[in-house]
Structure 1
Amino acid sequence: MLTQVLDRIRRLLGRRTPAPTPTSTPASAPERDGAARASAPTPVFTADFGSTRQWVAGRSWAYPNGGPTNSGDNKLDYLVPDASFSRSGTFRATRRPDGKWNAGLLTTEGSEEGFMVRTGDVLESRVRLPVERGAWPAIWTWLDGDNEIDVFEYHPDNPDLLELSNHVKGASHYHRDPAVGPGRWVDLKVEFGSGSVVWWVNGKQVFADRRGVGRRWRAYLIVNLSVCAGRYHPAPDRAVSEMSYEVAYLRVIRP
C-alpha cells in the first residue's frame, strides 16, 4: 500500500509544468534612452557664422548684380563683407554719410560648401529681435531669382508680429504673438514640406500653408539685417546710427 502511494506521488511530481526558459530581459531605462538618442536625427547643417567655408559675407544674388544695394526692394542696405557685421552671429547695420546703411548679410550661395536646404528639411533657429525702428531682420532662402521661403521677417513698428511667407507657391501669414517683441528671444522652426510649409514659433505650430514647395525644391540660405527705406515701413529715426539682431543658432535637420 505504501509502495502504491509513493508511486502515485512520483507520477504527480513528474507532471509539473517545467519552469519557462529565461528570455532576454527588457532594456533598462538608460539603455532605452541611449537608443532613442542614437535614433534622433542628426543635423546636416549647423551654422558656424565665422566659417568662410559655410558662408559668403556681403554679397547675394538676391540683390541686383549681387549687391551691394537693393533700393528697388525699398532697402537702404549697403552690403559689406566686414566680419564685425555678421560673423559673430550678431548682424549689424550702421548709418553711412550718404544715407545708406552698411549692413551684414551671410549666404551659403557661392561658399565652398554651398549648402542648400531641400524639400523635407527642417530648419531650427533662435533669434533676438532688434529694437530700433527701421530694422528689417530675416532668415530666408533663395535660388536663381526664386525659391524664396521667409523663415521670418520682422519690423519693430509692428512689435508683436512676425511675417511668414512662401513665395514659391504664394502663401503668407502674419503671426501676432504677445511673446514676440523688440529685444525678445524667439524660437523658430520651419518644415519645408512638399505639400505644406509649416512654421512653429516658441514651440507652437502657428501656420501650415498647404501649398508646400514641391518635390524637387532646393535653395541657399540667407541671414541678414536690412534697413527699411520708408515705403512699406518707417525708415530709422535720424538719431539712430546703429542697429542689430542676434542669431544664437541655426541648424537644418534632414529626416
Structure 2
Amino acid sequence: MHAGSAGGRDGGGGNGGGGGAAAARTLFTADFDDRGQWVAGRTWAYPDQGAGGNLGDHKLDRLRTSWPRRGGLFEAVRRADGTGWDTDLLTTAGASRPFRLRPGHVLRVRFQLPEQRGAWPAVWTWGVDDGPQGEADVFEYHPDRPAVLELTNHRGEGSSHYHEDAAAVRPGRWIDVETSFGEESVVWRVGGRQVFSDGVGVGPDWRAWLIVNLSVYAPSPPAPRPQYHEGPAPGVGRMDWLVHSLTVHG
C-alpha cells in the first residue's frame, strides 16, 4: 500500500504561500509499517507522553505502543476496565530517521473517513522547538458533524476554517486533502479545490513533527471544558479509519 521513504531529513523548503506540488520533488512517503520512520504511542503533544490519557483535550485515549496493523489502518479499542480506549498514534518525533516539516512543504493525504460516532481522526503537526505554536491541523473530523472537515493553524493568533461539503465529505467516503505550509499563509485543498487560505502562515523558522492518529472524543466530565461532539455509543467497542497514502513535497 505504501512505498518507501525519503525521510530522515528536513528536505528542501521555500517561502511559498500556496500552490500545488505537481512540479515539486517528493521528500517523504509514509510507510506506516516502517519503525525507523515512525514512533508509536508517544508524543510530547499529550501529557506524560500519552501514558495517562488526555482528558484535558476531550480525549479518552490511552496511547498504545504496539504497532498499528495492516499499513495505514488506525484503530481505537474500548478498554475492558472502563478507563478509556486504547488508541493508535504515530509520529515522526523521536524516530531513528526523523522527518520534520518546514515552510514551503506541501502535504498530500488520501484517507477514508470513519463512520462511528466518537471517532476523532486527524493528521497534524507539533512544533520541534515551539510545541503547540507549531501545531497545524491538516484536518480533524467528527462523524456527528458528517459534512465538516476542521482545518486549523495554531501558529501565532491562530486561524481555523470549518469546510462543509455534504456532497464530498461524509462518513465512509474517500477524501484527498492537500496542505501547503507557506511562511505567510497555510493553504488547504480538498479534492483538488482550494477551500481555505489562512493569511497567517507558519513563519520562516517553523519546524514540526508529523502526527497521524485516531482519538476518541470524551463526551462528559471529568473533561474540564464543555463538550462539543457526541461520544461513542455504549455498545461500540472498536472504531477505525484508513490512510491510503501520505506524501510530503517541496
TM-score by length of 2: 0.84
Tell me, yes or no, if the aligned pair for 1:229 and 1:235 is still in contact at 8 Å: yes
Once the 2 structures are TM-superposed, how far is the Cα of residue 145 of structure 1 from its aligned partner?
Answer: 2.3
Whole-angstrom distance in 2 between the partners of 1:154 and 1:51:
26
Secondary structure at the counterpart of residue 205 of structure 1: strand
Aligned residues between the structures: 215
Instruction: Tell me the residue number matched to 2:106.
Output: 122
Whole-angstrom distance in 1 between the partners of 2:100 and 2:70:
19
Secondary structure at the counterpart of residue 48 of structure 2: helix
* 1:164-203 CA distance string (max 9 Å, x none): 0000131000000121010000000000000000000011
TM-score by length of 1: 0.82
Tell me, yes or no, if the aligned pair for 1:196 and 1:210 is still in contact at 8 Å: yes
Please say which of residues 93-102 and 115-124 is displaced more in the overlay: 93-102
Please say which of residues 95-104 and 239-248 is displaced more in the overlay: 95-104
Whole-angstrom distance in 1 between the partners of 2:108 and 2:86:
27
Whole-angstrom distance in 1 between the partners of 2:206 and 2:97:
19
Once the 2 structures are TM-superposed, how far is the Cα of residue 86 of structure 1 from its aligned partner?
Answer: 5.3
* 1:126-157 CA distance string (max 9 Å, x none): 01000000000000000242200000000000
* Larger gyration radius, structure 1 or structure 2: 1
Question: Which of 232, 243, 254 is the equivalent residue of 2:239?
Answer: 243
Instruction: Tell me the residue number matched to 1:153.
Output: 140
More helix by share: 1
Once the 2 structures are TM-superposed, how far is the Cα of residue 232 of structure 1 from its aligned partner?
Answer: 2.2
Instruction: Tell me the residue number matched to 1:22.
Output: none
Instruction: List 4+ stretches of structure 1 deviating above 4 A.
Output: none
Instruction: Tell me the residue number matched to 1:164.
Output: 151
Unmatched tracts of structure 1, length 5 or more: 1-38
Pair 1:60-2:43 in alignment: yes
* 1:84-111 CA distance string (max 9 Å, x none): x356200000100233101000000000
* 1:195-245 CA distance string (max 9 Å, x none): 000000011000000111101111000000000011221110001110000
Whole-angstrom distance in 2 between the partners of 1:168 and 1:210:
11
Question: Which of 178, 202, 212 is the equivalent residue of 1:213?
Answer: 202
Whole-angstrom distance in 1 between the partners of 2:73 and 2:117:
17
Instruction: Tell me the residue number matched to 1:23.
Output: none
Tell me, yes or no, if the aligned pair for 1:116 and 1:219 is still in contact at 8 Å: yes
Whole-angstrom distance in 2 between the partners of 1:41 and 1:86:
31
Tell me, yes or no, if the aligned pair for 1:57 and 1:86 is still in contact at 8 Å: no
Instruction: Tell me the residue number matched to 1:201.
Output: 190
Instruction: Tell me the residue number matched to 1:34.
Output: none
Question: Which of 95, 102, 124 is the equivalent residue of 2:86?
Answer: 102
Whole-angstrom distance in 2 between the partners of 1:157 and 1:87:
27
Whole-angstrom distance in 2 between the partners of 1:213 and 1:145:
13
Given the superposition, is the C-alpha separation of residues 236 and 227 from structure 1 closer, same or farther in structure 2, using an over 3 Å criterion?
A: same
One-letter code aligned to 1:213: V
Pair 1:174-2:162 in alignment: yes
Q: Give the root-mean-square deviation of aligned CA atoms.
A: 1.2
One-letter code aligned to 1:172: S
Whole-angstrom distance in 2 between the partners of 1:73 and 1:42:
36
Whole-angstrom distance in 1 between the partners of 2:108 and 2:66:
26
Secondary structure at the counterpart of residue 198 of structure 1: strand
Whole-angstrom distance in 1 between the partners of 2:176 and 2:74:
17
Tell me, yes or no, if the aligned pair for 1:86 and 1:105 is still in contact at 8 Å: no
